[in-house]
Chain A
Amino acid sequence: LLWKESWELGKNPMASRGSPLHGPRIKLIEKTHSLFAETKEHTFESKAAEEHARLLRIQHELEVSTKQTIFVDSSVSDTIRTCIALGNHRAAMKVRSEFKVSEKRWYWLKAFALATKRDWDALEKF
C-alpha cells in the first residue's frame, strides 16, 4: 500500500505541471486524497491534496468570473494577494475563510498586496 502511495505522490506534481485541462486534474488529486486517507500516517498529505483540489476549483471559478487566466497554479497566498490587488476584497475574504488563513499571514498579505497596488489610503485605513 505504501508503494502505491509514493507512486501516487509522484503523479501529483506531474499532474500539476501538466495540461490546463482542469477537470481530470482535480479528479486525480481527489483520488490522491482518498488514497492517502486509507492509511493512518498520511493524514497530512491527504488533507493537503484535498485542499489542493479545493483551491483549484476556486481558482477556476475566479478565472471564469474575472476572465483573467492568472489564478490557476498559484498558491493560496498568491491567490489572496491577486484578489486584493484586483480590488476584489470579497473574493479574498472567501478564500481566506475557506482555508482558515491565520490572522498574521492575512495581514502580511494584505499589506503586501495594497503596497504593490500603491493603495496607500487603504493601507492607512486597515
Chain B
Amino acid sequence: MAQIPNLDNAPLNLASLREQSQKDLLNILRNIRGNKCLIVDQKLSGSLSLIIKTSILKEYGVELRHLSSEPVQTECPKVVYLIRSQLNLVKLISAHIQNDISKGTQREYSVYFVPRRTVACEKIFEEEKVHHLLTIGEYPLYMIPLDEDVLSFELDLAYRDYLVDGDTSALWHIAKSIHKLEYSFGVIPNVRAKGKASARISEILTRMQVEEPVSTSDVGIPEINTLILLDREVDMVTPMCFQLTYEGLMDEILRVNNGSVELDASIMGNQQQEGKKTKVPLNSTDKLFKETRDLNFEVVVQVLRQKATDMRQDYKEIQTANQSVSELKDFVKKLNSLPEVTRHINLAQHLTTFTSKPSFSGKLDMEHTIVEGESYDICFEYIEEMIHKQEPIVNVLRLLVLFSVTNSGLPKKQFDYIRREFLHSYGFEHIATLCNLEKAGLFKKQEVKGNWLMIKRALNLIVEDTDTTNPNDIAYVFSGYAPLSIRLVQHAVRSGWDAFLMEYKILKIPATENIDPSTPVVRPIEEILKLLPGPHSEIKRGGYSSTPSFDTLPGAPASIDKVADGRRSLVLVVFVGGVTFAEISALRYLSAQEGMAYDLIVGTTKMVNGHSILETFLETNV
C-alpha cells in the first residue's frame, strides 16, 4: 500500500502543493546531469517519503543515501546533499569533502538547503575551505501535507528554539509557508492570533504581503476564509495529557512518524519475519482507519469486534445458501477490506497490552486529578513518589509540567524541594533541563495565584459523564477533559467572532469612532483570552493591504462565508509549537457537527505529544 496519503478528498487542493514540491525536487535533480548520489539528512528523508516515491527518484539516476558521519561510498562522480540548514550537518559535509580530497577522489558537489540557505551555514563552508568546491542551492520545501486536512511545517525544534533560545527564525518560516499558501489559494481575509509567537507571525505575514503582494486578480475568491494562529504556550495542559483516541494512543505508545508507525513484524501477525520491523502507514487512504482514528480507543475495540463478527456472519451466509452473482460480488468486495480489518485488530491488540496495565489507569487518574486542580497535596505526593521511584524521566516531567502549569507554578519551598529531589534522582546534569523548562515557563516558581480553576470553569473543560461511544462534546478525546486549545477554536468559530472583533475595534480605533453603546463591550471569551499567556490580535486584510478594511465589517463576513458554489468556507488553524493527534481529532469532530459553517484544516510546526515536546527540552540528548 502506498505510504503517500491520497489527498483527493481534501477540502483544499493540497495535492497541487505536493506536486509542486515534487517538481521542484525533480528540477534540481534534472539540472545535474548523469548519475548522482543523493544524500539526505535523516530527518528530511521521512518528510521526503511523503512527497515522492523512491522509485521515481531511481528513474532520475539517483542513488539514495542517508547523511551520517561515515564517508560516502559511491561510484557516482556527482554528489548532491539535501539538508536542513543546521550547522552540525554542514560540518559533516565538510568532513566528507575533506576526506575525499585527502584520498584524491574528485567529485562534483552540490548542496541544497531546505528550505533556504543561511549565512551561518555558508560561513562554515568557507571556514572549512570547501566553499569553492560547492554549488549551493535551495529546495524551497516549506510544508508537507500529512493528510487530507493536516499540513506540517516540520520544525521539530521550533518551540524550544523560540522559548528557550529566543530564536525566531521558525516564526519567519511559518509566516513564509502561509504566504506561500496564499499564492495558491488567495489572501486570507481574516487573521486571528493568540500568543506572542502567533502575533509576531501575523505581523510578518502582513509585511510580506506588502513586500511581495499576492495579486487578488490571479487567484479569485480566497479559498481560505480565516486563519487562526495559536501558540502552543497558550495551552500546555493538553499535550501533557495522555491521548486516548486511537491515533493519539498509537502515537503515545508507538510513536507515529511521518504518517506511519514502525513495529515488530510479529505483532502484525507475520510470524516468519521474527524481529524484523515493518512500517504500517496510517492515513485516511485506509478507510477503516479514517473511520476509527478519531474515536476513543475503548470504542475502537468495539467497532473492530463488530466488523469481525459481521464478516463471520457474511461468511456463514455464503456457505449455506445459493447466492446470486451480485450477492457474491458484494461479498468479494467485503473481503477486500479484510486486510485492513486484520491490520487494525493486530494494532489494537498490541495497544491493549499497554492500556490494560494497572499503572496505566493509575497514571490517567492522576492526570485527571491534576487537571481538576482541586487536590494539590495528593498530586504533589504522587509526583514526589514518582521521582523517588526514579520512573522514566519524561513521564515525571510530563506530570510535573502539567502540575506546574495548572497551578501557574509551585510555591518556592516546594519548587526547590522537588528540583533537589529531581536532581538527586536523575543526576545533576539535568539542571540544564530544569533551567530550560523554567525559561519556557513550563516548570516554575509560583508568582501569582493561579487562574486555572477560573479558566477551567469558564471554558467548561471538565465534562462529567462523557459518552465515549456517542460523543456529544470534544471532551471525549481525553475521556472527560476537553482540550483547552480546541475550546478556544470552538468559541472563536462558533460564537466568539464578534467578541474578537469588538475587542479589536476598542483596542485599535480611537475613541472618536462610533461604537454602538448597546453592544456589550466585554464578552466572556475575551476575558478568558486575557487570562491566558500572550497577547491576542485580530487583523482584517483585503486584497490591498493599504485600504483600512475594518470599516466594511458588518457586511463582509456574511458575504465571504458563503462561497459561491455552496461549499463550506475554510478555516486554517495553525498551531505554533505543534499539535497532538487528539486535538486534530477534536477539530475533526467539530467540523463534522451539524450547523458548523466551516471546514477546518490544521497547520502545525510538527505532530507532537507530551513526550516529544519535552524531549526537545532535555539538554542531554542535544
Contact = CB atoms under 8 A, between A and B. Distances in A.
A17 B428 CA distance: 11
A73 B388 contact: no
B263 interface: no
A96 to B, nearest CB: 11
A75 B428 contact: yes
Interface in B375-396: 384-385, 388-390
B416 interface: yes
B435 interface: yes
Contact of A101 (B385, B424, B431): B424
A81 B619 CA distance: 25
Given A77-B390, A77-B424, A105-B421, A12 B384 contact: no
B60 interface: no
A13 B432 contact: yes
Contacts of A28: none
Contacts of B426: 75
Contacts, number: 65
Contact of A12 (B390, B416, B419, B432): B432
Nearest to B415: A44
A101 B421 CA distance: 9
B389 A55 contact: no
B390 A45 contact: no
Interface residues of B, number: 21
B384 A104 contact: yes
Max count, chain A CB within 10 A of own CB: residue among B423, B425, B428, B432: B428
A81 to B, nearest CB: 9
Interface in A88-115: 99, 101-102, 104-105, 108-109, 112
Interface residues of A, number: 28
Interface string B407-420: 00000000010011
A73 B421 CA distance: 16
Contacts of A105: 388, 421, 424-425
A75 B388 contact: no
A112 B390 CA distance: 10
Contacts of A52: 428
A6 to B, nearest CB: 8
Interface in A50-102: 51-52, 55, 73-78, 99, 101-102
Contacts of B431: 9, 12-13, 45, 48-49
A105 B423 CA distance: 13
B620 interface: yes
A74 B425 CA distance: 9
B421 A9 contact: no
A55 B428 CA distance: 9
Max count, chain A CB within 10 A of own CB: residue among B416, B421, B427: B427
B333 to A, nearest CB: 57
Nearest to B426: A75
B116 to A, nearest CB: 28
Nearest to A106: B388
Given A9-B435, A12-B431, A74-B427, 17 more contacts: A10-B432, A13-B432, A13-B619, A44-B419, A48-B419, A49-B431, A52-B428, A73-B427, A75-B423, A75-B424, A75-B425, A77-B424, A78-B427, A99-B424, A104-B388, A108-B385, A109-B388
24 contacts: A9-B431, A9-B432, A13-B429, A13-B431, A13-B619, A16-B429, A47-B420, A48-B423, A48-B431, A49-B431, A52-B428, A75-B425, A75-B428, A76-B424, A76-B425, A77-B388, A77-B390, A77-B424, A77-B425, A99-B424, A101-B424, A104-B384, A108-B388, A108-B389
